[in-house]
């Protein structure tokens, strides 16, 4: 019997029977799983399996029809919070298609990402007391550190829209990290990258985990998922059909069926 | 190159301000100064609308209503309770802010074209209400006999002269430039820009988009309220005609012409569009034609506005290419 449960013994994310329907189509059907602290967890499934919908439900972009989403040891479900409240709680995300603020510089993008860490409002901006100046400086320094971590220092004052594709992908992850999340959701971070960039990305993801951030990632590239994840969850037609270690998943008949069809013989 | 940049950024606006300051001392023609005062009121309006359209990226086609609220507020509190101009200025700013925030509520749910229609409708509703609430607003005849501003120490009546209003408006503009520059570079300013670029992504960055929209409308409403009060105090009489849909469109054109999101650009745009008709007076019958032509050429060759950042243009080009 355990005498005491420390914070890290709670799963960082718990989904309980999350269901989301669009009209008659069930995008998510009673999906339940947990994500453990400090892990890199892969979320895979064929197109239209409901992976992005699941991300949207976690981050508050769409509310699940039923079910609960718990973050850490909190007793309150995230399911009906606004997106910004979810971010304040400590969950950050990137998007499948890049959604940077194109006409703002790389540095500004990251400073916006750190929005929830500061508190200067209208009055702070107007009267600019000492603490606001300090806060602004801190945000700026923090943003520069993040740019350096992602190797984007030389691009700090370039407009995000003018960066190369690979850099934009990186900047998006940097922007999400700026809010100091405990859990980072990456939606197909390797999409459109060449093998070398993918390798860099894997190193980055591992380095982010070293900073104490738990990562849940959607990825289509099986190689990437199997290489980097310690735990894999498989969705198909909105249902969780399998989960386990990458090795176990690769040999799971249901997963093979979902990807390759029933008649596929090994 | 760096030196040139510094000259452009600091010296030119400084010299421009100096010229504007000594203008009424050199040019003694009261008509010219009067035109400059109305141009100045439009500069105030353009600065206010720029917060909503340029910074936060919310299209507002009913800004004249904000202006009207400010003007009628001062007119009513002055006529009924003899509240002096300087206090009326604050009350107008307050009602402008409240009106702006009320109109922001539909903005929380709508976006883009739909919101533009709502703001357009709100603008028309205000004008029609002013036209028909005869017992309160005097209907189409408007309100007469509004007190002009006056100073207690030294004792001075603004009256119907133009110079005092010129300096009043000038100081208000300088004050708002100072405030708006602070806002732009603040956390709130960044949040507004993020909202303009991508609302969904902004909300995922921890920005309370509802508050960001509300505060943009509040700041825009505040400035329009002040502008309306000055307008009422200067004219001494106001009627719904002055708050037509055309005014909303003109102010929007000023913001777009000068450069969305650029304080300097917006001021320049407002000055050009309010002074140009005066210079084109000689070609009276062609005036609107030339005006329209200028706008079309502008949109073709410099869609980001005169002083708008170049990247808006790049963006525009890319979008055209991909089609």
Contacts of B207 in chain A (CB under 8 A): 84, 112, 115
Q: Are residues A208 and A172 in the same domain?
A: no
pTM of the model: 0.88
pLDDT at residue B323 is higher than 70:
no
The 3-state secondary structure of chain B, one letter per residue: CHHHHHHHHHHHHHHHHHHHHHHHHHCCCHHHHHHHHHHHHHHHHHHHHHHHHHHCCCCCCCHHHHHHHHHHHHHHHHHHHCCCHHHHHHHHHHHHHHHHHHHHHHHHHCCHHHHHHHHHHHHHHHHHHHHHCHHHHCHHHCECCCCCCEECCCCEECCCCCHHHHHHHHHHHHHHHHHHHHHHCCHHHHHHHHHHHCHHHHHHCCCCHHHHHHHHHHHHHHHHHHHHHHHHHHHCCECHHHHCHHHHHHHHHHHHHHCCCCHHHHHHHHHHHHHHHHHHHHHHHHHHHHHHHHHHHHHHHCCCCCCCCHHHHHHHHHHHHHC
Q: Which of A220-229, B124-133, B282-291 has the lowest mean pLDDT?
A: B282-291
Question: What average pLDDT does the structure give for chain B?
Answer: 87
Segments making up each domain of chain B, as ranges: 2-322
Decide if A128 is inside a domain: yes
Q: Which of A15-19, A241-245, B35-39, B312-316 has the lowest mean pLDDT?
A: B312-316
Query: Is the Cβ pair B208, A161 closer than 8 Å?
Result: no
Domains of chain A: total? 2
Q: Which of B44-48, B149-153, B228-232, B256-260 has the lowest mean pLDDT?
A: B149-153
Query: Is the Cβ pair B203, A84 closer than 8 Å?
Result: yes
Quick one: which of B24, B42, B15, B13 has its CA closest to B167? B24
Whether the complex's predicted ipTM is more than 0.95 is answered with no
pLDDT at residue B45 is higher than 90:
yes
From A127, A148, A180, the end of a domain falls on A180
Q: Which of A52-56, A57-61, A259-263, B37-41 has the lowest mean pLDDT?
A: A259-263
The pLDDT confidence band at residue B2, using thresholds 50, 70 and 90, is low
Decide if A50 is inside a domain: yes
Find the mean pLDDT for residues B115-141: 91
- Chain A, nearest residue to B175 by Cα: A126
**Cα(B44)–Cα(B33) distance, rounded to whole angstroms?**
16
What's the pLDDT score for residue B178? 94
Query: Which CATH number characterizes residue A2's domain?
Result: 3.40.50.300
Question: What six digits make up the tokens of B151?
Answer: 């100073």
Q: Which of A31-35, B122-126, B148-152 has the lowest mean pLDDT?
A: B148-152
Is pLDDT larger for residue A49 or for residue B283? A49
What's the pLDDT score for residue B214? 93
Contacts of A135 in chain B (CB under 8 A): 187
Decide if A98 is inside a domain: no
Q: Are residues A214 and A229 in the same domain?
A: yes
Beta bridge mates, A183 = A91, A214
pLDDT at residue B319 is higher than 70:
no
pLDDT for B159-216, tens place per residue?
888 889 999 999 999 999 999 999 988 999 999 999 999 999 999 999 999 999 999 9
**CB neighbour list of residue B318: distance below 8 Å, 6 or more residues apart:** none
pLDDT at residue A226 is higher than 50:
yes
- Chain A, nearest residue to B309 by Cα: A103
Q: Are residues A133 and A261 in the same domain?
A: no
* Out of A116, A120, A121, closest to residue B206 by CB: A116
Find the mean pLDDT for residues A92-114: 92
Q: Are residues A173 and A194 in the same domain?
A: no
User: B181 to chain A nearest CA, in Å?
Assistant: 9
Question: What average pLDDT does the structure give for chain A?
Answer: 88
Instruction: State which residues form the domain around A169.
Output: 104-180
Decide if A239 is inside a domain: yes
Mark out chain A residues that contact chain B at CB-CB < 8 A. 59, 61, 82-84, 87-88, 92-93, 95, 99-104, 108, 111-113, 115-116, 118, 120-122, 124-126, 128, 132, 135-136, 139, 159, 161-162, 175, 179
pLDDT at residue B285 is higher than 70:
yes
Decide if A164 is inside a domain: yes
From A162, A180, A198, the end of a domain falls on A180
pLDDT for B206-244, tens place per residue?
999 999 999 999 999 999 999 999 999 999 999 999 998
Q: Are residues A221 and A260 in the same domain?
A: yes
Q: Are residues A82 and A189 in the same domain?
A: yes
pLDDT at residue A2 is higher than 60:
no
- Chain B, nearest residue to A99 by Cα: B201
Question: Quick one: CATH architecture of B2-322?
Answer: Orthogonal Bundle (1.10)
Decide if A97 is inside a domain: no
What's the pLDDT score for residue A205? 93
From A180, A195, A229, the end of a domain falls on A180
């Amino acid at each position: 019997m355990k005498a005491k449960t420390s914070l890290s013994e709670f799963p960082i994310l718990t989904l309980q029977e999350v269901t989301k329907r669009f009209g008659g189509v069930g995008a998510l059907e009673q999906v339940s799983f947990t994500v453990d602290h400090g892990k890199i967890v892969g979320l895979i499934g064929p197109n239209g399996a409901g992976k992005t919908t699941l991300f949207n439900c976690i981050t508050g972009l769409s509310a699940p029809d039923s079910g609960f989403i718990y973050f850490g040891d909190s007793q309150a479900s995230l399911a009906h919070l606004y997106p910004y409240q979810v971010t304040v709680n400590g969950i950050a995300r990137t998007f499948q298609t890049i959604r940077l603020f194109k006409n703002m510089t790389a540095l500004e993008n990251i400073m916006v990402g750190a929005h929830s860490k500061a508190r200067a409002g209208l009055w702070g901006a107007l009267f600019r007391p000492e603490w606001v100046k300090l806060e602004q400086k801190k945000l700026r320094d923090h943003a520069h550190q993040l740019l350096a971590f992602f190797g984007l220092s030389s691009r700090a004052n370039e407009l995000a829209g003018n960066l190369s594709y690979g850099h934009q992908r990186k900047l998006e992850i940097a922007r999400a990290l700026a809010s100091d999340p405990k859990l980072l959701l990456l939606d197909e971070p390797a999409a459109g990258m060449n093998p070398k960039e993918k390798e860099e990305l894997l190193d980055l993801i591992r380095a982010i985990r070293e900073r104490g951030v738990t990562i849940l990632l959607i990825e289509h590239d099986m190689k990437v998922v199997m290489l980097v994840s310690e735990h894999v969850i498989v969705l198909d037609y909105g249902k969780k059909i399998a989960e386990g270690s990458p090795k176990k998943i690769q040999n799971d008949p249901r997963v093979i069926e979902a990807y390759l069809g029933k008649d596929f013989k090994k | 190159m760096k030196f040139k940049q510094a000259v452009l950024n600091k010296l030119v606006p400084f010299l421009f301000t100096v010229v504007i300051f000594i203008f009424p001392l050199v040019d003694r023609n009261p008509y010219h100064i009067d035109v400059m005062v109305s141009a100045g009121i439009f500069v105030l309006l353009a600065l206010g609308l720029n917060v909503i359209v340029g910074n936060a990226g919310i299209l507002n086609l009913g800004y004249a209503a904000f202006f009207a609220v400010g003007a009628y507020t001062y007119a009513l509190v002055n006529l009924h309770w003899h509240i002096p101009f300087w206090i009326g200025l604050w009350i107008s700013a307050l009602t402008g802010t409240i009106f702006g925030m009320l109109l922001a509520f539909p903005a929380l749910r709508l976006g883009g074209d739909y919101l533009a229609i709502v703001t357009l409708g709100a603008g028309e509703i205000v004008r029609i209400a002013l036209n028909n609430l005869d017992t309160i607003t005097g209907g189409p005849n408007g309100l007469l006999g509004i007190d002009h501003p006056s100073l207690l120490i030294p004792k001075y009546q603004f009256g119907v002269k133009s110079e005092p209003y010129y300096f009043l408006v000038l100081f208000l503009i300088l004050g708002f430039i100072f405030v708006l520059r602070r806002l732009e570079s603040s956390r709130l300013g960044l949040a507004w820009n993020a909202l303009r670029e991508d609302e969904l992504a902004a909300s995922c960055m921890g920005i309370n988009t509802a508050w960001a929209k509300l505060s943009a409308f509040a700041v825009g409403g505040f400035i329009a309220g002040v502008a309306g009060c000055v307008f009422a105090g200067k004219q001494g009489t106001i009627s719904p005609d002055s708050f037509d849909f055309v005014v909303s469109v003109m102010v929007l054109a000023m913001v777009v012409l000068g450069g969305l999101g650029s304080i300097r650009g917006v001021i320049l745009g407002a000055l050009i569009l309010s002074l140009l008709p005066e210079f084109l007076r000689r070609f009276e019958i062609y005036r609107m034609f030339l005006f329209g032509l200028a706008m079309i050429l502008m949109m073709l060759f410099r869609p980001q506005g005169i002083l708008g950042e170049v990247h808006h243009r790049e963006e525009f080009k890319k979008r055209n290419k991909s089609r």
